[in-house]
A = this chain, B = another copy of it.
Amino acid sequence: MRSRKPSSRRGDLRIVQYGLGAIGVACARAVLETEGLVLAGAVDVDPGKAGLLLSEILEASGGKPSARVDGPASRMTVAATLARALDGRRADIALHTTQSSLRRVFPQLRACMDAGLSVVSSTEELALPFATEPAIARKLDALARKKGVAVLGTGVNPGFVMDILPILAAAASRDVRSIRIERVLDAGKRRASFQRKVGVGLSPSEARRRLHEGGFGHIGLLESALLVASGCDLHPDEIRETSHPVIATRAMKSAFGTVRRGEVAGLHQSLSGLRRGEEILRLDVVMALGVSDTHDAATIDADPPVRLRLEGGIPGDTATIGALLNAIPRICAASPGLHTALDLPIPRPFARTRR
């Protein structure tokens, strides 16, 4: 029998929520609810949001209204720029949830760093930018060092379920020969904007056209694959991404009404990493209505082999909020610069709702 003292109360961290889409609104709400965090400002470039009271946006978002929109937060307006949101006040960290494209968000990240904020961002292309966008990554890293702040791109996918978790699962094995990772989720349980993103209700030809155009479906499969390759010392010499619509075999309910048989129920996206023609890396993500066996899994061919499974799977939205908030203490303790999940201490739960 032993006793442990509870850790001392953490000093409050001042957080700016940058971006108030579905994830950003949920993040802002979570910051308001979380012990040790204070919401110091909210930014959205959308002229339809800037100038509104944050409390209005939170109420309109449909989730349970936060009991914590009180004190200064009850009068907080959404600012169109970071400078206006801060208005000379100090803050510690930006939770940045705007877009997937690193090129597009670069000016936003720069503004955060210029204001002396460390950044935790959900931008998928920031998960392993040294591999995918080396020039921008070097620029971000240099700027972060100069300003003495730390920057991390993370989230649930990429950043957790299809990369970091499988990498750790392989960490007691030698001679990793191949890794197969799959994520199967029920799009019917996700919000309307997610269902739209995976083509629910489109005709198959329209879905194929959009897949061909790009920027459609899940963004970040390449980042996950490169994280796994880097983390497991696998060296594919060729990477192939293929995607196809999942066709409804019966009528199903969606956020936009009934999807008929023959219409698109979702997407199946795959990435294959080959070395000398042999598949050493395989990632599959299935996001469709009517999927019953939702799960996350990884099969690692190594000594010993590992078969990991998350029964029911990790739900995307709530886990994204968790992953972003839980990254806060690690980014606070990190050295200045641009980081990836591979060079920081292991992610762990931190966020607790105030009592």
Contacts and interface: CB of A to CB of B under 8 A. Distances in A.
A168 B314 contact: no
A353 B5 CA distance: 45
A307 interface: yes
Given A232-B349, A346-B341, A172 B307 contact: no
Interface in A136-175: 156, 160-161, 164-165, 167-175
B236 A346 contact: no
A319 B310 CA distance: 21
Given A304-B319, A310-B307, A175 B343 contact: no
A231 B318 CA distance: 20
A347 interface: yes
Interface stretch (A52-60, A88-96, A237-245): A237-245
Most buried by B among A2, A236, A306: A2
Given A4-B229, A131-B4, A314 B304 contact: yes
B349 A236 contact: no
Instruction: Classify chain A: how many residues form its interface, as a range.
Output: 35 or more
A105 interface: no
Interface string A271-314: 00000000000000000000000000000001110111111101
B314 A171 contact: no
A353 B343 CA distance: 24
A348 interface: yes
A207 B1 CA distance: 22
A95 to B, nearest CB: 14
A351 B235 contact: no
Nearest to A226: B4
A237 B171 contact: no
B171 A349 contact: yes
A326 interface: yes
A308 B306 contact: no
Given A239-B1, A308-B309, A308-B310, A172 B353 contact: no
Most buried by B among A156, A173, A176, A226: A173
B174 A351 contact: yes
A202 interface: no
Given A306-B314, A314-B304, A322-B303, A4 B236 contact: yes
Contact of A173 (B171, B309, B319): B319
Interface in A308-343: 308-312, 314-315, 318-323, 325-326, 341-343
B346 A172 contact: no
Contacts of A270: none
Contacts of A193: none
Interface of A: 1-7, 30, 34, 131, 156, 160-161, 164-165, 167-176, 222, 226, 229, 231-233, 235-240, 302-304, 306-312, 314-315, 318-323, 325-326, 341-353
Across chains A and B, which 6 residue pairs bring their CB atoms closest together, nearest first? Answer: A171-B347, A172-B319, A307-B311, A174-B351, A172-B323, A172-B322
Given A165-B168, A345-B346, 14 more contacts: A4-B131, A7-B235, A167-B346, A168-B348, A171-B348, A174-B351, A232-B348, A233-B350, A233-B352, A303-B318, A304-B314, A304-B319, A345-B345, A346-B346
